Chain A
Amino acid sequence: AQSVTQPDIHITVSEGASLELRCNYSYGATPYLFWYVQSPGQGLQLLLKYFSGDTLVQGIKGFEAEFKRSQSSFNLRKPSVHWSDAAEYFCAVGGSGNTGKLIFGQGTTLQVKP
C-alpha cells in the first residue's frame, strides 16, 4: 500500500537560511509525487510535482525537490527562506490504479524567524 512519511512535524528556520523538508514514500512502482503548501486558513496549493524525467524538479516560489529512488525520498528545498514561506507543507504520492487518488503525509509546519 502507498504511504507517505514526513518525519519533521515542525521546523523553524531563520529568514534567509536554507530549507530542506523531508519526505519518504512507500510505493511499488514509479510514484507520482507532489508537494503542496497550505497557508493558514487557506486551501492547498501545488508547489511542484514529479512523475518522470529529470529527478530535480523546479516549482513555484523558488522551491525545488529531488526524487531519489534509492532512498524513496522526495525532499523539498529552498536556498533562502522568506518570512512569507511560513506555512504547512504536505508531501503526497499518487498513481495507484491509474487514478487521481493522492495519499498525503502528515505535514510539516514551517516557522520563519526574523
Chain B
Amino acid sequence: DAGVIQSPRHEVTEMGQEVTLRCKPISGHNSLFWYRQTMMRGLELLIYFNNNVPIDDSGMPEDRFSAKMPNASFSTLKIQPSEPRDSAVYFCASSLSRRPHNEQFFGPGTRLTVL
C-alpha cells in the first residue's frame, strides 16, 4: 500500500486566496483525521471523519475552514479566505476504525505558507 497520500506537499499562496488540501487515506481505513502542526500550538486535531461522516469538528479554528469527505478514498480541507496565521503543516491520518487502540497512519503533510 502507498500509505496516506497528501497533495500538494508545499503550497505558497497570498492572503485572501482559497486553499484546498487533499488527502487519500489508506484503502480499507474507515477513520480519517486532519491535524495542523505549528511551532506555537504543536499538533492539533482539526476534524475527524468516520465512515465519511464528520464526527468531531471542534478543533476547526473558524468558519474559514471546512472539510469534506465525499467518499472513502478522498478528503479535502479548504481554507477560504486564507490568512498568514494559517501557515502551518497540515497532516492527514487514517486508521482502520474509530476504536482508540487503532494506530493512526500519517501522511507526509502539506506545508502551507500564506504571504
Which of B48, B100, B108 makes the CB contact (< 8 A) with A43?
B108
Which interface class (under 10, 10 to 19, 20 to 34, 35 or more) fits B? 20 to 34
The answer to whether A107 and B4 have CB atoms under 8 Å apart is: no
Which of A32, A36, A43 makes the CB contact (< 8 A) with B101?
A32
The answer to whether B42 and A100 have CB atoms under 8 Å apart is: no
Interface residues of B (CB under 8 A from A): 4, 31, 33, 42-43, 45, 48, 50, 55-56, 91, 93, 95, 97-109
Which interface class (under 10, 10 to 19, 20 to 34, 35 or more) fits A? 20 to 34
**B6: min CB distance to chain A, Å:** 8
Interface residues of A (CB under 8 A from B): 32, 34, 36, 41-46, 49, 51, 90, 94-96, 98-107
**A98: min CB distance to chain B, Å:** 6
Which of B48, B101, B105 makes the CB contact (< 8 A) with A49?
B101
In the bound complex, residues from chain A placing their C-beta under 8 Å from that of B50 are: 100
Q: Which residue of A lies closest to B109 (CB)?
A: A43
The answer to whether B99 and A100 have CB atoms under 8 Å apart is: yes
